[in-house]
Amino acid sequence: MSTYKVFMIIGVVLVAGGWIAYAIWDYRLRQEEKKHPKKHATRLNKTKGEVSDWAKQMAAFKKPMAKRQARGDQKED
């Protein structure tokens, strides 16, 4: 066998082993994360509350009356 073939076989085995080890580590990490509830940052909760308040304000928003309509309403009285 040439040294190139030996080098390539060893390299492929090492890379495959690395990917297998990474897959096992990632699987264990995901399983561990499932056991613990997610922690939300206080800043994130504050921002969500501000967005909720803003959405309520936008829902209650009423379009201002145009000046022409306002003058027309006053003349009718």
CA distance 59 to 55: 6
Q: What is the pLDDT of residues 41-58, one digit of tens each?
A: 888 888 888 888 888 888
Determine if the pTM surpasses 0.75.
no
**First-to-last C-alpha distance (Å) of the chain:** 105
Low-confidence ranges of the chain (pLDDT < 50): 75-77
C-alpha span between 16 and 14 (Å, rounded): 5
